[in-house]
């Protein structure tokens, strides 16, 4: 929330009115729809996920990224 307040303060300093600040906030704050992926029971350990999926007869969605861990490329 602090980041949002900071962003709104910057837009106010730029001469934007309160209505525009609300529009900016609405554009940058994730909605409940945007964060649905957080409700998935993600597993950080692939081997444990494989065992669980096999026991339940379910597939695995593997979401992986290549590159440096501090800046995925």
Q: By C-alpha distance, which of 9, 64, 11, 15 is closest to 42?
A: 64
Element (H, E) at 67: strand 67-68
Q: Tens of pLDDT along the chain (73 residues)? A: 455 565 656 655 566 777 887 888 888 888 899 899 889 888 889 999 999 999 999 999 888 777 776 765 5
Q: What is the pLDDT of residue 4?
A: 58
Please return the burial class of 17, using the count of CB atoms within 10 Å of its CB with bins 0-12, 13-18 and 19+.
exposed
Which pLDDT does position 33 carry in this prediction? 92
State the pLDDT at residue 17: 77
Residue 72: its H or E element: strand 71-72
pLDDT of residue 68: 74
């Amino acid at each position: 929330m602090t980041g949002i307040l900071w962003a709104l303060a910057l837009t106010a300093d730029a001469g934007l009115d309160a209505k525009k600040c609300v529009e900016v906030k609405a554009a940058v704050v994730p909605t409940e729809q945007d964060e649905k992926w957080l409700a998935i029971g993600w597993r950080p350990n692939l081997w444990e996920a494989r065992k669980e999926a096999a026991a339940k007869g379910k597939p695995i969605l593997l979401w992986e990224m290549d590159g440096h861990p501090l800046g995925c490329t």
